[in-house]
Amino acid sequence: MEQEHHSQIEIGLSSRLSLKESIDNLADESFPHIYRVPKELREGNEQYYTPTTISIGPLHAASDNPSLTAEAKLKKRALKFFLSNVREEVTLDGLIDLLKGIEGEARKCYNAEEIKVEYSSSDAFVEMMLLDGCFILALIAIEVIITKRENPVFMGRARRPLLYRIQQDLLLLENQLPFFVLEALYKVLCEANQPFDLIQYAVRFFRGILPAQRFDFRMQMEKEKPKHLLELVLFALFPLPPQNDHHAIKIYSHKDFPKNMSELALYGIKIKSNNRGDSLVDVKFRNGVLEIPTLVTVESTTSLFKNLLALEQCQNQKRSSFTSYLFFMDALVDTDKDIDLLLQAGVLKTWLNDKQALVSLLSGLSTNLLFSKQDMVAFEDIFAGLKDYCSSHELRACLMRNYYASRWDILNSILIFIFTITQTVFAIVSYNPRK
């Protein structure tokens, strides 16, 4: 009996040590930069996170999706393009050796459990990096640097429609390659020692599908290097604001300031496009004028915004400039009327004919998100300025509301009077007494 009791104690101690070891391992575990979108965001939205034309990285494979079966030929054409146009000392074996040297670092960028079984071996993983990296760099080189009329990678395919679909796929969170892999290949294949050139070329490559007209992100890139192409676009569109003293500002969410564009107009606030803005977060409010950089929406904007949101929401670090932008636009847009005001002011330009789709884009994405102080850091000065302005113009807003209400009352009275007279006239005219 005593021996059995002693055995139970040993098992208990063994379990405790095993649990402690597993907890210690979790503490040392680094959060991956490229990962599957969590089910909380993915559920019901799979089409926004899954590649349809080209898969990049080890989280998706052509065997999973019949629409990706043609990608192998495109990637091999890209590799052939580079090997045919680089100096003689650059060889296939040399590129493979280069990537084998950074394979371990690249694997750390992914969750090992999420890597497809096709890429579990070292050779398969390195081949994936080589083909995917050369494919991306070939597109950038052909479309931006060389600007050839014919793209040898797309031979026999409709170039513009195919390029548009590939650009969308390259900005999916689950469809990324570590940026340092692209830099390593770029330095060898393009004989470049300035990685910032690659950043500039990459942003120019995506310009046609990005929702902004201007970019000035040198300061952001000097502070923080992008981990992949999607984060590069995040930095370009929504750079972090300068650090301010946030303790004096009491407004952190539009719940404290629930005024859309139609309501702000009652207070005398005007809206105009900020054509000089360096990014989409470069919003200014001065002397009753709200200046917002122009947002250009196309068919792919919803997919881009959903992936940027997934990236920012799941990051381990405190960064929420895009989330702040969503909350800001959500505060301004409630109905089609608010969309009309943005369109008239040139703040919003769109190729979409469905206004309700624009309402969903600008206000629907933040529906299930919870506010925090950090989430409003990029626009807290703007909200505070709007709140102060509205507080000092309450009388005007009240008069405007009464004016519109009384105007509708008068109009309703006039219409009722006209309808009554019309009905009476018709009754008299149609009256036919029996003879």
Distance between CA atoms of residues 119 and 215, nearest Å: 36
- Residue 32: the pLDDT is 83
pTM of the model: 0.82
Write out the two tokens for 25: 């391992």
The count of other CB atoms within 10 Å of the CB of residue 264 is: 23
The C-alpha R_g of the chain, in whole angstroms, comes to 29
pLDDT at site 115: 92
Q: What is residue 109's predicted lDDT score, i.e. its pLDDT?
A: 95
Single out the residue of 338, 233, 237 nearest to residue 295, CA to CA: 237
pLDDT at residue 27 in the model = 43
pLDDT at 148: 63
Question: Tokens for 70?
Answer: 């043609």
DSSP 242: P
CA 140 – CA 304 distance, rounded (Å): 19
Decide: 196 and 285 in contact? Cβ < 8 Å: no
- Residue 349's φ and ψ, nearest 5 degrees, are -125, 135
CB 260 within 8 A of CB 334: yes
Domain ranges in the chain are 1-30, 39-209, 261-391, 403-435
pLDDT the model gives residue 146: 76
Q: For position 359, what pLDDT does the model report?
A: 82
| CA angle (283, 216, 351) in 5-degree steps | 65
| Local structure of 10: helix, strand or coil | helix
Average pLDDT for runs of 10 along the chain of length 435: 51 60 54 88 90 93 75 89 85 94 95 91 95 94 76 76 92 96 91 73 91 70 83 89 50 57 88 86 91 91 93 75 87 88 91 80 74 70 88 81 53 55 63 55
Q: What is residue 249's predicted lDDT score, i.e. its pLDDT?
A: 41
Nearest Cα neighbor of 68 from 169, 193, 219 is 169
Q: What φ, ψ does residue 166 adopt, rounded to 5°?
A: -70, -40
Tell me the two tokens of residue 119: 């890429």
Of 47, 181, 33, nearest to 111 by C-alpha is: 33
